[in-house]
Amino acid sequence: MKNNDLNRSLKQLKNLKSAGLPSGDFVAQNREILMMQIKNSAGEVKRPFAPAYIWKAFESIVPETTFRFVVRPVLMGLLVLGIAFGGWSATVKASQDSLPGDALYSIKIMAENAQLSLTSSENKVSLQTELAEKRLAEMRAILEAPYTEDQEERTKTAVQNFSKQVKAVQTTLENLDSNKSGAVLEAAKIVDTKTAEYTIALEGAKDGLTGSAMEAMEEATDAVDNASIKAVSVIIKEGGESGDNASKAEETIKIVEEKAQNVATSTGSGTLTEEVKDVLDKAKTALDNNDLNTVMDKVVEAKNLVNSATGASASSTNISE
């Protein structure tokens, strides 16, 4: 049999019911079942929409100057309308991973401020320390990202945001109702623990920083020191003069001594060193006598002398006594 004859016979055989040709009903029914199984198992993947996608798209294709002065204001206006008419919660959720300089970062901060406004004074310190941790996380994210020309500026902004949050923690602690000693003591303990963590985090982030970012980092370290000293002062005032508190007080003396030496070296101010030394000598004498309240009074006095020498605003950086 020739090949052509064989092919013709096979085609004829394929179409014979006696050879196993399925009926039309059978084919249609099983096609529907198969398509349904495919649909159920595939699962449709949808990427959630967020306004940041639009922002990033424009940012990647529009020249920087045009984007900054033309496109950005327009998009911000549309973003405000989107919040007003498209739902606040979705926009806030989309903003949670934003960093300083991103489109939705201001929305993230607005949401945090709204949360703070609804928080009682006794619980505000805890929330503010959590927000300070978020600012640190933002700083780390910028530092760990691939290098860009604006990285130093964004790092500086992130560190300044952290400093602002730490100063807010200190202010809240200072303004707590002294009649609620238990709540004040707990708040101070939280600040004491968190500032120790902040100090370690800032030291780890300093490597490689230069210029304005490094200056902002030094200011942040100073803000943490101020908050830490205030926390220890409150702990001793409210919690007594135990041995553990004595070691905390001694540590604050070392912090101020080191800071005074650094400032004196950078400014050439030997007078500052002597003034601070005289005050801290009194603190050490009080420490020997286990008079921890006097220790902290002198530590605060010495630190405020150092703060004033740096040219910082007394209202924003000094520690209340």
Most confident of 60-64, 65-69, 110-114, 283-287: 283-287
pLDDT mean across residues, the chain: 80
Question: Over the stretch 158-170, which tens digit does the pLDDT of each residue have?
Answer: 999 999 999 999 9
Question: Over the stretch 186-240, which tens digit does the pLDDT of each residue have?
Answer: 999 999 999 999 999 999 998 888 899 999 999 999 999 999 999 999 999 987 7
Task: Judge contact between 307 and 226, C-beta under 8 A.
Answer: yes
Q: If you write DSSP's letter for every residue of 96-114 in order, what string do you get?
A: TT--TTSTTHHHHHHHHHH
Least confident of 15-24, 190-199, 263-272: 15-24
| pLDDT recorded at residue 263 | 83
* Crossing angle of helices 72-86 and 88-95, rounded to 10°: 130
| pLDDT recorded at residue 111 | 86
CA–CA distance, 73 with 59 (Å, rounded to integer): 13
| pLDDT recorded at residue 316 | 46
Q: In this structure, what token pair is assigned to residue 288?
A: 């020997």
CA–CA distance, 152 with 140 (Å, rounded to integer): 12
| pLDDT recorded at residue 213 | 92
- The angle subtended at Cα 215 by Cα 175 and Cα 251, nearest 5°, is 55
| pLDDT recorded at residue 162 | 97
Question: Over the stretch 272-319, which tens digit does the pLDDT of each residue have?
Answer: 778 889 999 999 999 999 999 999 999 999 999 888 877 654 444 677
| pLDDT recorded at residue 82 | 55
| pLDDT recorded at residue 315 | 41
| pLDDT recorded at residue 29 | 62
| pLDDT recorded at residue 216 | 95
Query: What pTM was computed for the model?
Result: 0.69
* Crossing angle of helices 88-95 and 51-61, rounded to 10°: 50
User: Which of the two residues, 57 and 225, has the higher pLDDT score?
Assistant: 225
For the chain, what percent of residues have pLDDT higher than 90?
Answer: 44
| pLDDT recorded at residue 273 | 75
| pLDDT recorded at residue 253 | 95
